[in-house]
């Protein structure tokens, strides 16, 4: 990596008739990125899986607000055809992975899982009374926890309950499940396949044994390879691997060795996340030796070489953190600008109303977010009382909806066309956001962001700074807060 602090301009404004240009892709990706400049702009920033972000959710969003939101979004769907997306949270894990930021419950008791399924049934029954569950669903995702901690019979039961309540799935619906290779067998695969699942995401993180020891996550290349074989033999054509860089004891050499093993297993897409060390939020992260975490400069070297290595093996960088082969739907959706970012990462289906089901799950509508309780006792108590186990949420103001549209478009396409925003909201973009554009002028002057009469377009360096760019439009960041977001590097 060059340590020259001179800003390398990455060329002309991207053309809109070239998918690769619109995606900020070049034949040699890292050579077009000034990593030293990127490092200077490291800051604590949201990942913008939502706007407003989850830290703005509040108990002031009441149960009546939630019920009214369901009704209002059903009415919107009749006019717009807005489909549904379903997220089912299966929270149990046998043991802790120290890097994990998910909401999980550690247990080895089988009866807890059956009991949880019974309460999912209660939640689905209540949902059927509050909203139109006959609307078309274009996405279903099982997340965790460890969804495959549930056995084949239990998974089949959950799938049956979902399909009895939400029976109208689009023929091309994305139906996906997070897989822990340590808890995965052919019977579970057959249960998922029979339920229509067509995408799997394997948690890999890193293959280095020293790193695995430090994060308390042990799985060999052979184990993951066996899990992939089970999926491929069952006809799964879309497999994702989750990897993390910035874990304790990682270095450039060890991570490149992991990548070599990964590409040999031939996943169709990769999500490679910058480790977010937030021990003030996740207590298990306190078990990680902070002195073993790689320096930001090492993480930048890993990122640079990861981009080059994956590009040389046919994977294109898509949005933030994600890579895909050019024949994968994720790449095709990015090319057609239908990619959409949500709490599960990126989806190819555009905007849909997400219904979160299960402990701590998050729902998203056109004008609201709502989150179920994280406490299992409170979850069961609410459902026993015939109520959705709402803990907090937020009703979006017209200003929130406008800014959400701007921020999420930036996150989805790494660019922003003014005309659709102006037509939808009846504004002049340059006048309405004049102060924000003035704050972005620094990036424009340095050549990492281009502004034309039509919109904003990031260069390859600017694409890596997309969180910084989106932050300019986030009015909630003016609030004083401490230890909320992870750093961009």
Residues 164-213: tens digit of each pLDDT: 999 999 999 999 999 999 999 999 999 999 999 999 999 999 999 999 99
Distance CA 383, CA 379 (A): 6
Nearest to 69 by CA among 131, 137, 135, 134: 131
Asked whether 467 and 24 are in contact (CB, 8 A), the reply is no
The pLDDT value given to residue 4: 29
The model's confidence at residue 17, banded by pLDDT at 50, 70 and 90, is very low
Contacts of 287 (CB under 8 A, 6+ apart): 96, 98, 216
341 φ, ψ to 5°? -95, 135
User: What pairs with residue 363 in β-bridges?
Assistant: 370
Residue 484 confidence (pLDDT): 63
Burial class (CB in 10 A: 0-12, 13-18, 19+), 362: buried
* Domains of the chain and CATH, by start: 19-47+397-478 (1.10.10.920), 55-395 (3.20.20.70)
pLDDT of 91 above 90: yes
Torsion of CA 307, 310, 311, 313, to 10 degrees: 170
Using one digit for the tens of pLDDT, what is the confidence trace for 228-259?
Answer: 999 999 999 999 999 999 999 999 999 999 99
Q: What is the pLDDT of residue 212?
A: 96
Q: Is the pLDDT of residue 486 over 90?
A: no
Contact, 394 vs 56, CB < 8 A?
Answer: yes
Pairing of strands 92-93, 105-106: parallel
Report d(CA 47, CA 307) in Å as an integer: 20
Give the pLDDT confidence score for residue 32 in this predicted structure. Answer: 61
Confidence of residue 18 (pLDDT cuts 50, 70, 90): very low
Please name which of 8, 29, 24 lies closest in space to residue 306, comparing C-alpha atoms: 29
Cα torsion 50, 52, 54, 55 to 10°: value is 150
The answer, yes or no, to whether residue 1 has pLDDT greater than 50, is: no
Structure tokens given for 423: 């037509």
Q: Are 70 and 130 in contact (CB under 8 A)?
A: yes
Q: How far is CA 67 from the centre of its chain?
A: 26
Q: Does 13 have pLDDT greater than 80?
A: no
Can you give the pLDDT at residue 2? Answer: 32
Q: What is the separation, in whole angstroms, between the first and last Cα of the chain?
A: 15
How is residue 225 annotated by DSSP? H
How many C-beta neighbours within 10 Å does residue 378 have?
14
The chain-wide mean pLDDT, for the chain, equals: 89
**Cα–Cα distances in angstroms (integers) from residue 412 to residues 271, 339, 406, 407, 441, in the given order:** 15, 6, 10, 9, 22
Q: Please, which pLDDT band fits residue 271 given cuts at 50, 70 and 90?
A: very high
CA distances to 50, 132, 355, 407 from 401, in Å: 11, 23, 19, 10
Averaged over 443-453, what is the pLDDT?
A: 93
Q: Are 372 and 379 in contact (CB under 8 A)?
A: yes
Helices 110-130, 152-165: axis angle to 10 degrees equals: 10
Query: Distance between CA atoms of 344 and 342, rounded to whole angstroms?
Result: 5
CA proximity to 105, closest of 40, 150, 160, 139: 150
Bigger pLDDT: 295 vs 389 = 389
Token pair in block for residue 164: 């009895």
Beta partners for 179? Answer: 202
At 25-74, the pLDDT tens digits run 443 456 667 667 666 777 777 888 899 999 999 999 999 999 999 999 99
3-state secondary structure of 252: helix
């Amino acid at each position: 990596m060059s340590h020259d602090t001179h800003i390398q301009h990455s060329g002309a404004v991207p053309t809109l008739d070239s998918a690769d240009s619109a995606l900020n892709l070049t034949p040699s990706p890292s050579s077009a990125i000034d990593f030293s400049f990127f490092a200077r702009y490291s800051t604590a920033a949201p990942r913008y899986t939502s706007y407003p972000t989850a830290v703005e959710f509040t108990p002031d969003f009441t149960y009546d607000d939630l019920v009214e939101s369901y009704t209002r979004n059903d009415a919107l769907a009749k006019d717009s055809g807005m489909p549904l997306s379903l997220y089912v949270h299966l929270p149990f894990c046998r043991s802790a992975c120290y890097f994990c930021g998910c909401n999980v419950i550690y247990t080895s008791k089988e009866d807890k899982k059956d009991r949880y399924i019974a309460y999912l049934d209660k939640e689905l029954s209540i949902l059927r009374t509050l909203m139109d569950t006959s609307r078309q669903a274009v996405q279903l995702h099982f997340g965790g926890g460890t969804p495959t901690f549930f056995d084949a019979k239990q998974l089949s039961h959950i799938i049956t309950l979902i399909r009895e309540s939400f029976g109208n799935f689009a023929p091309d619906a994305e139906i996906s499940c997070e897989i822990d290779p340590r808890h995965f067998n052919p019977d579970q695969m057959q249960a998922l396949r029979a339920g229509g699942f067509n995408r799997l995401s394997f948690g890999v993180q890193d293959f280095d044994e020293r790193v695995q020891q430090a994060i308390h996550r042990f799985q060999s290349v052979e184990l993951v390879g066996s899990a992939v074989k089970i999926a491929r033999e069952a006809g799964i054509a879309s497999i994702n691997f989750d990897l993390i860089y910035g874990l304790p004891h990682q270095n450039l050499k060890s991570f490149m060795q992991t990548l070599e093993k990964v590409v040999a297993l031939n996943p169709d897409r990769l999500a490679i996340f910058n480790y977010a060390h937030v021990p003030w939020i996740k207590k298990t992260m306190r078990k990680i030796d902070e002195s073993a975490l790689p320096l930001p400069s090492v993480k930048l070297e890993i990122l640079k070489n990861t981009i080059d290595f994956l590009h040389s093996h046919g994977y294109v960088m898509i949005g933030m953190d994600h890579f895909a082969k050019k024949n994968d739907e994720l790449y095709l959706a990015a090319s057609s600008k239908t990619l959409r970012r949500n709490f599960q990462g990126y989806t190819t289906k555009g905007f849909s109303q997400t219904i979160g089901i299960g402990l701590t799950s998050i729902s998203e509508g056109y004008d609201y977010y709502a989150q179920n309780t994280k406490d299992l006792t409170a979850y069961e108590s609410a459902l026993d009382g015939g109520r959705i186990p709402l803990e907090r949420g937020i009703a979006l103001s017209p200003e929130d909806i406008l800014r959400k549209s701007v921020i999420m478009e930036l996150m989805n396409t790494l660019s922003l066309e003014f005309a659709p925003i102006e037509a939808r909201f009846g504004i002049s973009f340059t006048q309405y956001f004049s102060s924000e554009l003035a704050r972005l002028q620094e990036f424009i002057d340095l050549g990492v962001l281009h502004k034309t009469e039509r919109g904003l377009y990031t260069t390859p360096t600017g694409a890596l700074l997309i969180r910084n760019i989106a932050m300019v439009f986030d009015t909630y960041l003016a609030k004083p807060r401490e230890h909320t977001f992870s750093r961009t590097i």
